[in-house]
Structure 1
Amino acid sequence: MKKKDAVLKLWRECFDDSDQYVDMFFSEVYRDDDALLLEQDNRPISSMLLQRYAMNFHGVTVSVSYVCGAATTRKSRDQGCMSTLMREALRCSYDRGDMLCTLIPANDWLYHYYGHFCFSPVFYVDIERYTSAHTFRHEGVYTLYEALDTPEAYSFFREMMERRKCTVQHTEEQYHQILMDNSADAGIVTAIADCDSHPVAMAFAVPVDGEAVVKDVLSIDEDARSAVLEEVHKEFADMPVTVYGYYKSADGELRQRGMARIVNASQCLSIIAQAYPKMKLALRLTDPVITENNGIFLLSEGECRKVDNHEGKLDYDIDIEVLTSIVFGNDVTRHILDFPAVRPFISLMLD
């Protein structure tokens, strides 16, 4: 059996996705070299995909992986199959040059499970809830922008995404996959333009259990944001609207959105050292899966060095999960630990 056929077989057994979504995913998104497959007696029993993305991080674009489609046949569950694949995925992620491995747990209990592999819940969204009677008021005059499947639309999308700090980015190919994903979920992608017909806001929405869920909204300013949300409201008449907003502060209604794990500590700390050349730090790090991350790291004068011994005082003696929590912490972490923490963001991952 070909690898793609084996993964598809497991996918159909384990997930309740529509035929339209599965056909779209395996024709447009799936790649053999992203797939990890575990077999027993020439029979596929477990699989996952380790997809490739990029993220802006302290002024540098880094490679990150995204775990999805983790599936194990019913007869082979509770036998350590997924644990074996997850360790393989982390090793693969490191070997191909990723700095970070990310995922979005399908259920709340999986946050605890993935914590066993040193993933930390660092991705959050700011939940905005509006009743069906709400009016999104705006002052500007806008028109609908319908040319979503064009280079200009993607250029706007990319520019808005890149304005966000520490955000998982999407290539043009991945942008088109997002459009197809929304369509497969009976959703809409709505965009508006200014008086010169240039796009100024874009929203991705799907109906979920009687409400319109906006999975992300991109705009040049708050007025355009309100205007495009009003268009979403019109499309889903009589439905309340819930927006998964970009994380801005700790004042809103925050919800865990996903997890991350540093897979290359040296790369991560070197970028931070270069961005903050006055920073001095000594830490001992332990990693139960990726042995290259074990050791003492010294940050000073814009560089990060890994050493075998250090006679001076250590600022931290931590494992890779704690380092991930510190690096991708919020403003509280930044101030208490005096560390340049930055809260990451993830959206539109076809989940």
Structure 2
Amino acid sequence: MREQVKALWKLCFPEDSDDFVELYFSSRYTDDINSAIVEDGRVLSALQRIPYPMLYMDKVIPVSYISGACTHPDFRSRGMMSRLLDEAHRKMYADGKYLSLLIPAGESLVDYYARSGYEVCFQQGKKLLTGKCKTVDNFKCDLIFRELDLLKNGFDDVCDFINQQLSTLQASILHPLQDMEIVLSDLQLSGGQAWCVHTDDGTLCGVALVIHSEGKVVIKELISINKQVESAIIDFIFRHYSVSLAEKPSPCGMVRVINAFGMLEIFAGRTEGKWIVEIFGDDVITENNGFYIISNGVCQKSDTCPESNFDTVYQRIHISCLPSWLFRDIQPYMSLMLD
């Protein structure tokens, strides 16, 4: 299966280098997380359900990230990917995942994935960093900048630091050590560099993943303990690479709810009052449809609408609109995905 999926990947994503494909299929791919449509022993469509931990309202939940979704050019427009997504979602539900996430390859695919229950929750953007972005104060920079050797192992401290800082957000994708090693290997293949920033006593206080090519600097990630350290990192990047402008892109991320009860149970523990939330329209994971009674921090599910009174908030939400409802007061963060 692996070799057939790899051949299909190369056919559908010719812009990916051979080194990246080898990295992906040696370090990330397994048959267990692969979903495929096979006819007459031939893989016609495939995708991978990559597991990630995600922080949501102080809870770490299991999610799947869809990677490598592709169909052989000779068999497109036959509904194969839609069918494969349905099968993948059922598998995710059986595996106990709460959400499915993906990054559409282009704007034209946003509507396509919306038909499978996905909604944009991670907003696409490109932040331009200039000298004006630096914090103007009396901060004295006594920081030590060290380049990380991407050809060696032992990235535990960097991984722990990144996840620690990401955990200060309300919602973010976290990166286990194995995933971080793959991210850094991909950075090395792309000709990038990783910089670790320490205080004078050796405490790690910032990390920047940077790609410098043809006079252009792209910051894949910049994480620090505060704005002052962030400012110092930006200043260092400008001086080290002799540029006055850098960009930090943010991907367009889409979310599909896999386990409505699990998500609403977390919501119940973070809200006050009594709610009745009706979820409808899920033809794939029909277990999600029904009435969810939220009261006193507890969520219960019913197949019939319970009686309510004047102090009960009633919400009727299509499964495709549930992601934006769950993230309506939150700015979820996603980066360093192998999109």
Report how far residue 146 of structure 1 moved.
3.5
Distance in 2 (alpha carbons) for counterparts of 1:311 and 1:327: 22
Distance in 1 (alpha carbons) for counterparts of 2:73 and 2:148: 44
Report how far residue 125 of structure 1 moved.
5.4
The CA deviation string for residues 30-84 of structure 1, in whole angstroms up to 9 with x for no partner, is: 1221111111221111100000001111221100000010011110111111111
Distance in 2 (alpha carbons) for counterparts of 1:141 and 1:117: 51
Distance in 2 (alpha carbons) for counterparts of 1:326 and 1:144: 42
1:280 counterpart = 2:274: yes
Kept in 2: contact 1:296–1:309 (CA 8 A)? yes
Distance in 1 (alpha carbons) for counterparts of 2:104 and 2:120: 10
Worse overlay, 183-192 or 141-150? 141-150
Distance in 2 (alpha carbons) for counterparts of 1:139 and 1:160: 22
Distance in 2 (alpha carbons) for counterparts of 1:139 and 1:106: 43
Distance in 1 (alpha carbons) for counterparts of 2:74 and 2:300: 47
Query: Percent identity over the alignment?
Result: 29
Distance in 2 (alpha carbons) for counterparts of 1:267 and 1:240: 43
Distance in 2 (alpha carbons) for counterparts of 1:46 and 1:126: 30
Q: Which residue of 2 aligns with 1:139?
A: 140
Report how far residue 115 of structure 1 moved.
0.5
Kept in 1: contact 2:291–2:305 (CA 8 A)? yes
Kept in 2: contact 1:145–1:197 (CA 8 A)? no
Distance in 1 (alpha carbons) for counterparts of 2:49 and 2:214: 30
Q: Which residue of 1 aligns with 2:161?
A: 156
Q: Which residue of 2 aligns with 1:8?
A: 6
Worse overlay, 233-242 or 186-195? 233-242
Query: What code does the residue aligned with 1:60 have?
Result: K
Distance in 2 (alpha carbons) for counterparts of 1:88 and 1:172: 29
Worse overlay, 151-160 or 234-243? 234-243
Distance in 1 (alpha carbons) for counterparts of 2:160 and 2:38: 42
Distance in 2 (alpha carbons) for counterparts of 1:296 and 1:198: 50
What's the secondary structure of 1:92's corresponding residue?
helix
Distance 1:96 1:135, change over 3 A: closer
Report how far residue 239 of structure 1 moved.
6.8
Kept in 1: contact 2:122–2:251 (CA 8 A)? yes
Q: Which residue of 2 aligns with 1:197?
A: 202
Kept in 2: contact 1:212–1:239 (CA 8 A)? no
1:345 counterpart = 2:333: yes
Q: Which runs of 5+ in 1 are unaligned?
A: 245-254, 330-340
Report how far residue 121 of structure 1 moved.
0.3
Q: Which runs of 5+ in 2 are unaligned?
A: none
1:290 counterpart = 2:285: yes
Kept in 2: contact 1:190–1:231 (CA 8 A)? no
The CA deviation string for residues 130-167 of structure 1, in whole angstroms up to 9 with x for no partner, is: 35x77856632211134564322222222112122210
Kept in 1: contact 2:158–2:207 (CA 8 A)? no
Among 163, 170, 173, the residue aligned to 1:168: 173
Kept in 2: contact 1:285–1:319 (CA 8 A)? yes
Distance 1:208 1:89, change over 3 A: farther
Normalised to the residue count of structure 2, the TM-score between the two structures is 0.90
Superposition map of 1:1-351 within 5 A: 3-15=1-13, 16-124=15-123, 127-130=126-129, 136=134, 139-147=140-148, 149-207=154-212, 211-238=216-243, 240-244=245-249, 257-276=252-271, 278-286=272-280, 287-312=282-307, 315-329=314-328, 341-351=329-339
Distance in 2 (alpha carbons) for counterparts of 1:290 and 1:235: 52
What's the secondary structure of 2:231's corresponding residue?
helix
Distance in 1 (alpha carbons) for counterparts of 2:290 and 2:140: 57
Taking only aligned residues, the RMSD between alpha carbons, in angstroms, comes to: 2.1
Distance 1:236 1:140, change over 3 A: closer
Distance in 1 (alpha carbons) for counterparts of 2:323 and 2:8: 31
Distance in 1 (alpha carbons) for counterparts of 2:291 and 2:81: 31
Report how far residue 290 of structure 1 moved.
0.6
Distance in 2 (alpha carbons) for counterparts of 1:153 and 1:311: 50
Distance 1:179 1:256, change over 3 A: closer
What's the secondary structure of 1:167's corresponding residue?
strand
Report how far residue 205 of structure 1 moved.
2.2
Distance in 1 (alpha carbons) for counterparts of 2:289 and 2:109: 26
Query: What code does the residue aligned with 1:344 have?
Result: P
